[in-house]
Amino acid sequence: MPPPSREAAALVVGRSHAAAWLLAAAREAAAPGHRPQLAGVARPARRLAPHAPCPKIAAGKKKEPKSKAGGKNKRVKLQLAKAEQQRRDEHEKILTQLRQVADEDISKLKSSIPGEACPTTPSCALSFLEDPIDDIKSQTPPIRLSQEEREQGSRPNIPLSKALALRNKIVADEKLKETTLIDYTTYISFDGSKLITTFADDKDDDSSILDFTVHCLRYDDIVHKEDSIRYRVFLSTAFYIQLKEVESIYMDDEQTETEQFNLLWRHLECEVEHYSDITKAKLIFIPVCAQRHYFVYCINLIHQHIDILDSIDYFWTVTSPDTRHEPIKNKLPFMNAAFQKVSGNKFPQIDKWSTTMINLPKQAGPSDCMFFLCKYMEFWDGERLYTNINPGMIYRVELMHYLMFHPLNQADLPDVTSDI
């Protein structure tokens, strides 16, 4: 065989060199941390500084598995529920203490009244001594508004013992049950039987009793608080009843008033006709009944907001006040329009004011809302309640006595009750 030519030999050598280079490159590529090098491109210098870490790692946070995150949220919820239960337990403890104190006070008062010292039974509840009225007189002197008391500028407080004695006397006397004991108008008239039923501890309240109370509060401001005449304005429950019926101010022509709005502002005009200038009032009390519950909306012209005086403990009942109060707040534009109409557009634009739920003593009995409402109207001064109200105390008999012996009561009371 002839020897290979020079060109053939060069080709063989070139191929062997290429094979050797490829083999070396393959070995280098297999080494750890190798980065491939393109032909004709200079290899960059090795970086000594590490790469920038991931943002979550830099912040020192690692993504937790879903199971761990869910467990953490569950622990937080349990802690919140435990804290809420502790608050409720403390709240119930306070209410229980107040009820116990009130029950003890009432028991002491009842034990000092004839017919109340024995255990509570139907026969005992109606039992009196042969001449109980003399005993009642000796223990509870009569409360009548004397000239001296009128000059003191405030009406006297009614002892609960006297109020209880009056109620027990009516319960035991069949003649008193048939006698009209409260009479003010055609719509406000109560005989003894109806009065005892209305003021029973477990009965819902009668709006006519509240309306008579409103008239009595107006009278008391004139007689006992001359400086506060026109300072406080008390409206009857009929105002809100009419307000509920208003759906719009004008008819479709946007000029003619609707019949409901016309009745509303005319009713308001009648209610405030005894006040020379409604714009000078500082507190306007509007009793409201919604969902069989009584409370007060107070137009506070001192601080220019609307105070909501509500005796329901919404925290304890685990309910929201919005359910009851939002429909009333939606009626504020109609209420404002009625006040503008009556005042000749001189009254403040109350529908622009904020509404504030005032923190006040709450009722403990299921049906005591109207009696707390009366306390709120009488003692709220626009900033605070300037009297102590015990949530466990029952104020029904006190209000009954107050209304029976009020000068506005037109009933011809028999002598047997005049000195109780």
Structural domains of the chain sorted by starting position, each given as residue range(s) with its CATH number in brackets: 99-201+394-420 (no CATH), 205-390 (3.40.395.10)
When pLDDT is cut at 50, 70 and 90, the band that residue 418 belongs to is low
Q: What is the predicted pLDDT for the residue at 188?
A: 86
* Nearest alpha-carbon partner for 209 in 397, 420, 416, 391: 397
Residue 44 has pLDDT above 50, yes or no: no
When pLDDT is cut at 50, 70 and 90, the band that residue 200 belongs to is confident
When pLDDT is cut at 50, 70 and 90, the band that residue 146 belongs to is very low
Q: Locate tokens 């042969």: which residue?
A: 130
When pLDDT is cut at 50, 70 and 90, the band that residue 338 belongs to is very high
When pLDDT is cut at 50, 70 and 90, the band that residue 286 belongs to is very high
Higher pLDDT, 336 or 203: 336
Q: Which two tokens stand for residue 392?
A: 């466990």
DSSP 259-318: HHHHHHHHHHHHHTTTSS-GGG-SEEEEEEEETTEEEEEEEETTTTEEEEE----HHHHT
Mean pLDDT of the chain: 74
Going by the DSSP 8-state scheme, the letter that residue 380 receives in this structure is B
Q: How far apart are CA 249 and CA 258, in angstroms?
A: 6
Give the 3-state secondary structure of residue 232: strand
Q: How far apart are CA 321 and CA 311, in angstroms?
A: 11
Q: Residue 181, CB half-sphere, CA atoms under 13 Å: how many?
A: 29
Q: What is the predicted pLDDT for the residue at 241?
A: 95
Average confidence (pLDDT) over 339-367? 91
Q: What is the predicted pLDDT for the residue at 128?
A: 29
Residue 36 has pLDDT above 60, yes or no: no
Q: Which two tokens stand for residue 313?
A: 């403990």
Higher pLDDT, 177 or 366: 177
**Residue 351, Cβ density class (10 Å: 0-12 exposed, 13-18 middle, ≥19 buried):** middle
CA–CA distances in Å: residue 360 to residues 141, 322, 380, 386: 33, 17, 10, 11
- pLDDT digits over 392-413, tens only? 667 788 889 899 989 999 998 8
Q: What is the predicted pLDDT for the residue at 104?
A: 65
CB of 231 closer than 8 Å to CB of 281: yes
Residue 388 has pLDDT above 70, yes or no: yes
What predicted TM-score, i.e. pTM, was given to this entire model?
A: 0.66
CB of 395 closer than 8 Å to CB of 372: yes
Residue 119 has pLDDT above 60, yes or no: no
Higher pLDDT, 370 or 81: 370
Q: What is the predicted pLDDT for the residue at 80?
A: 78
For the ranges 123-127, 241-245, 370-374, the lowest mean pLDDT is seen at 123-127
Higher pLDDT, 147 or 77: 77
* Nearest alpha-carbon partner for 380 in 303, 318, 324: 303
CB of 342 closer than 8 Å to CB of 272: yes
Q: What is the predicted pLDDT for the residue at 64?
A: 54
What Rg value do the Cα atoms of the chain yield, rounded? 41
- pLDDT digits over 95-114, tens only? 666 666 656 655 655 565 54
Q: What is the predicted pLDDT for the residue at 23?
A: 52
Q: What is the predicted pLDDT for the residue at 179?
A: 92
Q: What are phi and psi of 165, to 5 degrees?
A: -60, -40
Residue 74 has pLDDT above 80, yes or no: no
Average confidence (pLDDT) over 158-172? 85
Q: Locate tokens 């009548």: which residue?
A: 144
